[in-house]
Amino acid sequence: MKRWTIKKHNHETVKSLADALQVSPIIAALLISRGYETAETANKFLNPSIEQLHEPYLLRDMEKAVKRILQAVENQEKILVWGDYDVDGTTGTVVVRKALELLGAKSGFHIPHRFTEGYGVNIPMLEKAKERGYTLIISVDCGIRSFEPIKWAKENGLDFIATDHHLPDEANGLPDAFAVVNPNQIGCEYPDKNLAGVGVAFKLAHALLREKDKEKLVRGFLKVVAIGTIADVMNLTGENRAIVSLGLKDLPKAVNYGLKALMEVADCTNEMTSYDIGFRIAPRINAAGRMDAARTVVDLLETTDFDEARRLAETLNKYNRERQQMQQKITELAILETANLTNQKFVVVAGENWHRGVIGLAASRIADKLYRPTIVLSIENGIAHGSARSIAKYHLLNGLDSCAELFEQYGGHAAAAGMKIKFENIALLQEKLNEHATANLTEEDLIPELKIDAIVSSKTLNLDLVQELKRFEPFGMGNPKPRFLTKDLTLISEPFVMKEKHLKLKLADADGKSFEAVWWDGADKSRGQTLKLKTRIELAYTPEANTWNGNTRLQLVVEDLRTDN
């Protein structure tokens, strides 16, 4: 059962904004509830543009970083771009590499292997970089907590520019890098703290291109930046909204062979939405780093041979199928391990040799199912590698900081994190995190909240409303699809079960106007509620247009429901 929170609206304020913008009252109400209360702010939200991108030099150390890179280009120094193995890191690597290529730089790249190197910067590969003649390292989506490796780099004549978006270590401050470009570092006055790692990389690319009179090329980067931003589940408000909106518009026109091939295998060749990126494109990119080596993604997006692009895109597709199978297996095993943890406020489960590439996905699934912050650990030779996911009211990194002494290594942010820990410390970790969560979470916090934007009369429900709501896209974190509540609906037939887990419902209002609704995983979610003919229902849902065989009909996607019995 979920907690329903229904937003209240001031009718006079709604009418005033609706009149000013010439939109329907429901659109005005949605804008106000999202914080856009004036015609000026609402218009800015409804019309994302490239003018909404912030000045890159507002990022602390940007000027220092750009000067050092341009010096390296001029002197033909070898520059190594050090990325991360997720979508954010690989797309960010491509962005920086492309900018360097346009400047005429000599660069290479390194994406750590998830299983042999782990997350972040490491000294052995820095040693190899030095041997190969690199003198400047630029990290992407990592580095903010890589104190020892960056110290080693400085002591051994390697200049290190750390670009990242993860939260710095409050206790230890910043690594001793030549420059640190991160909107979340103390003292940085950049107006938007929600950039993804690829977003920070893009700001660096923007500044570099401007210095060489190539600023007109900046918009071309947004296609790849949009993919990384959506995949890393960043807030799609402010600057990110402009980045993603413009990038999505440009994606169908992509000329990059890798992007085109990837969109083909993912069956995304028409108008693109954040859903297409989040559920079709991003999982295929992520699968490379989860199942094998993420450098395949960079190779794909950099190739100038379309046959090679198709081959690499098919490889990612294969990895994604393998990932889906492995994820299901590990998630089922992990859920079995939670059977005796129902009284825990923080769930920690571990298994021998669970595939490290999917434990984060398993943690996410369990956190959603049990609505508890969750860590899933894979134990290998006495060391456990883990991935964590949180819930709305719990700051995950603060929890991990409370028992930092137990970890060999850890890092992340409020919603997700990764760690390495000795096997013998796992039991104590469970105990300490449960204590921390108990002290910081109320019983109400452990009931998932369903935020409902407005109560909507069934009379106003139609495809025109769906069309109006398109102006709010791209949807995602910070800008979810609008959720509505409609009361006094009645089931006019028994629920139809699809694939043994989803429900299709046929409903009607008091006047006999009928609606089709689909409830994904509804067979499980509806347990404890009676759904039979003539059951009266209050429905929380998002309205969508469902096209099948050339016919487009209104479909209500169920978020939750309440019956009168």
**Looking at residue 504, which CATH number applies to its domain?**
2.40.50.460
Q: In b/e form, how buried is each residue of 120-145, taking b as 16+ CB within 10 angstroms?
A: bbbeebbeebbeeebebbbbbbbbbb
- Is residue 94 domain-resident? yes
Cβ–Cβ < 8 Å for 479, 472: yes
Cβ–Cβ < 8 Å for 21, 28: yes
- Is residue 23 domain-resident? no
**Which residue range is the domain that position 84 belongs to?**
52-318
Task: Kindly report the three-state secondary structure assignment for every residue of 13-53.
Answer: HHHHHHHHHCCCHHHHHHHHHCCCCCHHHHHHHHCCCHHHC
Domain end position, chosen among 446, 465, 490: 446
Domain end position, chosen among 446, 461, 493: 446
DSSP symbols for 43-93? HHHHS--GGGSPPGGGSTTHHHHHHHHHHHHHTT-EEEEE--SSHHHHHHH
CA–chain centroid gap for 392, Å, is: 15
Least Cα distance to 250 among 225, 279, 230 occurs for 225
Global pTM reads: 0.92
| 468 and 430 together in one domain | no
| 420 and 363 together in one domain | yes
- Number of domains the chain contains: 3
| 215 and 287 together in one domain | yes
| 244 and 348 together in one domain | no
Domain end position, chosen among 446, 467, 489: 446
| 281 and 191 together in one domain | yes
**Tens digit of pLDDT per residue, the chain (565 long)?**
799 999 999 999 999 999 999 999 999 999 999 999 999 999 999 999 999 999 999 999 999 999 999 999 999 999 999 999 999 999 999 999 999 999 999 999 999 998 888 889 999 999 999 999 999 999 999 999 999 999 999 999 999 999 999 989 888 899 999 999 999 999 999 999 999 999 999 999 999 999 999 999 999 999 999 999 999 999 999 999 999 999 999 999 999 999 999 999 999 978 899 999 999 999 999 999 999 889 999 999 999 999 999 999 999 999 999 999 999 999 999 989 888 777 899 999 999 999 999 999 999 999 999 999 999 999 999 999 999 999 999 999 999 999 999 999 888 778 889 999 999 999 999 999 999 999 999 999 999 999 999 999 999 999 999 999 999 999 999 999 999 999 999 999 999 999 989 999 999 999 999 999 999 999 888 887 889 899 999 999 999 999 888 899 999 999 999 997 5
Least Cα distance to 235 among 542, 484, 480 occurs for 480
| 158 and 278 together in one domain | yes
Residue entry with tokens 């750009």: 66
Cα three-residue angle 355-357-361, rounded to 5 degrees: 100
| 345 and 300 together in one domain | no
Quick one: tokens of 454? 């407005």
Domain containing 61 — which CATH number? Answer: 3.90.1640.30
| 500 and 427 together in one domain | no
Give how far Cα 425 sits from Cα of 119, 362, 401, 404, Å.
21, 21, 15, 11
| 307 and 381 together in one domain | no
- Is residue 20 domain-resident? no
| 440 and 453 together in one domain | no
| 226 and 191 together in one domain | yes
- Is residue 8 domain-resident? no
